[in-house]
Structures are given as structure tokens and as C-alpha cells.
A and B are shown apart, each in its own frame.
Chain A
Amino acid sequence: MNRASRFMMRQWIGMGTRFLPFADAATPDLPLSRLLRLSLFQVAVGMALTLLIGTLNRVMIVELHVPASLVGAMIALPLLFAPFRAVIGHKSDHHRSELGWRRVPFIYRGAMLQFGGLAILPFALLVLAHLGDSADAPAWVGQAAAALAFLLVGAGLHTVQTVGLALATDLAAPESRPKVVGLMYVMLLVGMIASALLFGAMLADFTPGRLVQVIQASAVLTVVLIGVAAWKQEPRRSTSRLPQPVPPDFRTAWTGFLAGDRALNFLLVTGIGTMAFTMEDVLLEPYGGQVLGLAVGQTTRLTATLAIGGIAGFGVASRVLARGYDPLRLACIGVVLGIPAFAAVILAQPLASVLLFAAGTAAIGAGAGLFGHGTLTATMNRAPPGQVGLALGAWGASQATAAGLGVALGGVIRDLVAAVSRNPASGYHAVYGLEIVLLFVTLATAAPLLVATSRSAGRSHGGSPGGAGIIQEGRAI
């Protein structure tokens, strides 16, 4: 080995794995390669989300000339399935399988639904747009087919994500869960960003044939990614020949879940906080363009700033939570960070400061990252034994429904206020102002939970409500 190589080797030894992202999420039972493989289901989910919300939204309106109201209705359809995430999580908790699996059968079904939806989606869109020989076809055929395709993709992605996260919780030791959550979130973002770039590049020269190729390729990729992710991950439980106790029905399990440990309060925090952080999602770019007069390239960079803020938030959250900090308290810090961030975005207009706008956007991303990571880690730690799927399903249902409603409400409020006041800026300011109010409501809703956590930590550790107590609590669960 030459001198330069020896020098470099000494540097690597000095650094260790500190700079290898998520190397510390792995444990001997769950090595990094297996964890990374499992997280591929999030890439498939991210790809489907980008396709539905981003790419097809534009393709349907610009290239296929489908009325915007119909496009809005189609894109909202997958949201109808979000509340059923709790039911799916519950079913996977109590699934009886001769093969000894609880999660894999649901991941298999979810992947099939997502594949099926994507397989018929391009043809449904072409008939919906009355292209080719379908110009004479009755309108309801295209609408029904597109609705079915969107519903199938939505049902598939919600099932895969709920049960995939439950499987990750099953496999990860309590102390490594914050890192696992961070990895899952980052992989979702990676899937969304990579597929947005790829879909954009491949659909640049739009033809109906290219649309079919792109969407069907994503269907095949979905099955491959989810198949690789779930391959040999779930251990087979031994199935007893003795009669098994009858699993509780969903209603009983749900009532029991809500009654324990302020679960409803926690779900409200997740829902209101998520809505507060998502109402501006599709409004930041037009605000930059319409009100601050930024060019298209600058506003696109803004979306990247939001994503970078989010990744920074996840990174900080993974690090802090792994040291035993209370995830709910961290989520609240994210909320507190969001309040000045939205204020900065509002003030950017009267002060005409692009820098303030960019800083506010990055802080909104970071706040949302801390909040999302904190609530998901808290959900994993608070999940009662045997109800991991139900708890994660409830979190996902509350989060996805609130996010969808938030985006829709944001647009409606912007349009209404701008129309009434005849001033485009006031429409955006009304939404950001409402988001600040919602962040305060989130803090007020979270207050009893924080007090209860501090008290229980204080009791178990002789009055020191520190992070160590919280870790103990997490492990005990």
C-alpha cells in the first residue's frame, strides 16, 4: 500500500461510520443492508404519490386538457382510503396465517392493488381525455375507469405504507426506532424527488404512447421495489394447533385504543399540526411568483429549499431522539419553529425580502420535519403491545387525511380571500395566518400530553423529568 493510501486509511479509521448516513440505525439483528432494503417500499410509495399529485395533475390539465375540477376530484379520490389505514393496521395485527405471517399478506395485497391501479391508469386517462377512437365513447366510461385506477393506487399505497411501517416497528429495537423512522422518511423523500425528476425528463416530449410507457414502467417498478423490500423480512411465527382466542373486532379494538394513554388527544395533535404544516404546500411557489415576482427557476429552487429544510429536520430529529429526548416534545419544538417561519414568509412581502422568504421556507421544512419525525416515533413508542398496526394506521389516517384536507383548504381559502379583497397577496397571507393559528392550537392540544409525560417521567425517576426517563418508558412499552 502506498503512502497516500495509508494516509487515507488512517483518516477513515479516525472518522469511523460517523458520516455514513443511517449506519447507526442498524443493529446486529437488523443490519443496515436489510434496513435499506426494507425502506424500498417507501420509494415505491413516494413514486406513486409524485405521479398522482404532481406529474399526472399537470399532464391531465396541460397535455390531456381534462377540466381542472375533474382533475381535482380524481386526485382527491385516494384520500378517501386514508381513514381505512387504521382498519388495515388492526387487521394486520390479528391476521391468522398458516404460514405464520401477519404483515406480508397485506403488503402483497397492497402491492397488487397499486400495480393494478397503475396498469390501467394510462388507458383510463386517454379515454377520460377522449383521445384516439374514444372520442365517441360515453364520458362516464373514462371517468369511472380513471376513478377506479386512482382508488386502486390510493388503496395500495396506503396499505403498503401502513403495514410496511408496522413491519419496521416489529423488526426495530425500541432504541433504534428514531433512526429507522428517519431513514423511512428520507427514503420517501428520495422516492418522490427521484421520480419527479425522472417522470419530468421522460414526459418532456409528451405522446400518449410515452404516457403508457412511463406509468406502466412505474407499475412494474412498484412490484419489484415492494417485492425486494419485503423479501424474507418478516419472521414466521410458529402456528399453534390449539384453538386461538378470537381476535377483537375493529370497533372494540378502536374503542380500547382511544381509551388508553390519551390516544385521541395525540391523534388530534398529529392531525391539526399536519394540517398547519401542509396548507402552504402548493401555495409557496405561486406566492413567490405572483406576489414577490420571482422567476420560475427561483420558485423551483424554493421547493428544493423546503425539501432540504425537511431533510435537515429529520436528521436533527434522528440524532436527538436517539439520545433519549421525548419525541412529543421534539414535535412541539417543530411547531414552535413553524410560528416565526410562517410570520417570516408573511413579512417577506411588505419588506420585499426574498432572503426572509427563503429562510422562512427552510424553517417551515425543518419544523415540519421535526414534527413528522417526532409524532411517528412517539406513535411507535406509545403503541400498545399487539396494537402496533392499529396505532400506526391511526397515525397514518390522521396524518394523510389532514394533509389532503390542508392542501385543498389552502387553495380554496387563498382563492376566496383573494377574490373578496381583490388583492392576491391577502389570499396567501390569510392561509399563512391561519396556519400560525393552527400551530398555536396544536401546542394547546399537546399541552396535557406533555404534562402527563413529564409527570410519569418524574414519578419513575424521583422527580427528574429528563430524557432518560422517556427512553425507559419507550423501552418498557
Chain B
Amino acid sequence: MSDLDDPDRVWPTGLTIRESEELHKHVIDGARVFFVISLIAHTLVYMYSPWLK
């Protein structure tokens, strides 16, 4: 069965629901990591110079 005949694929991107879920998981994981990193970085900056006063 070619990709074009695959009923699970959603066009125009041609991704399946499961593929898009995995893509979304990577984006969400990345956003979580960046959030935690920024939280730690902001805490350290506050300790070094509170709001850059």
C-alpha cells in the first residue's frame, strides 16, 4: 500500500495521527526542559543581582 492510499494519513502533510503525536511529544518535552532551565537560570541571576539593580 502506498502512502497515498493509506487511510491513516492526514493530508496535506501526510503525517499519521501517531506520527503527529510523537512530534508533539518532542515539542512538549523540549518546552518543559527549557522551562526548568530558565527557572534555574532566573533564580541564579536573582541571587547574583536581584533584577539587575
Chain A residues lying within 8 Å of B44, measured Cβ to Cβ, are 120, 123-124, 126-127, 145
- Tell me the chain A residues, 76-132 only, with Cβ under 8 Å from chain B: 97-99, 105, 108, 112, 115-116, 119-120, 123-124, 126-127, 131-132
Chain B residues lying within 8 Å of A437, measured Cβ to Cβ, are none
User: How many of chain B's residues have a CB under 8 angstroms from any CB in A?
Assistant: 21
A151 vs chain B, min Cβ distance (A) = 13
Chain B residues lying within 8 Å of A115, measured Cβ to Cβ, are 37
User: How many of chain A's residues have a CB under 8 angstroms from any CB in B?
Assistant: 23
Whether B23 contacts A99 by the Cβ 8 Å rule is yes
Whether B23 contacts A134 by the Cβ 8 Å rule is no
Residue B30 interfacial (CB < 8 Å): yes
Residue A133 interfacial (CB < 8 Å): yes
Binary interface encoding of chain B residues 27-53 relative to chain A, with 1 for a CB under 8 A from any of its CBs, else 0: 000100110111011001101111000
CB-CB under 8 A for A126 and B48, given A112-B30, A116-B33: yes
> Chain A at the B interface: mostly helix, strand, loop or mixed?
helix
> Chain B at the A interface: mostly helix, strand, loop or mixed?
helix
Whether B19 contacts A98 by the Cβ 8 Å rule is yes
B3 vs chain A, min Cβ distance (A) = 9
Chain B residues lying within 8 Å of A119, measured Cβ to Cβ, are 37-38, 41
Whether B47 contacts A99 by the Cβ 8 Å rule is no
Whether B19 contacts A99 by the Cβ 8 Å rule is yes
A30 vs chain B, min Cβ distance (A) = 25
Residue A452 interfacial (CB < 8 Å): no
Residue A477 interfacial (CB < 8 Å): no
Besides the known contacts A116-B33, A133-B49, 10 further A-B residue pairs in the complex with CB atoms under 8 A apart? A99-B23, A116-B36, A119-B38, A123-B41, A123-B48, A132-B48, A132-B49, A133-B50, A141-B47, A208-B48
- Point out residues on B near A: beta carbons under 8 Å: 16, 18-19, 21-23, 26, 30, 33-34, 36-38, 40-41, 44-45, 47-50
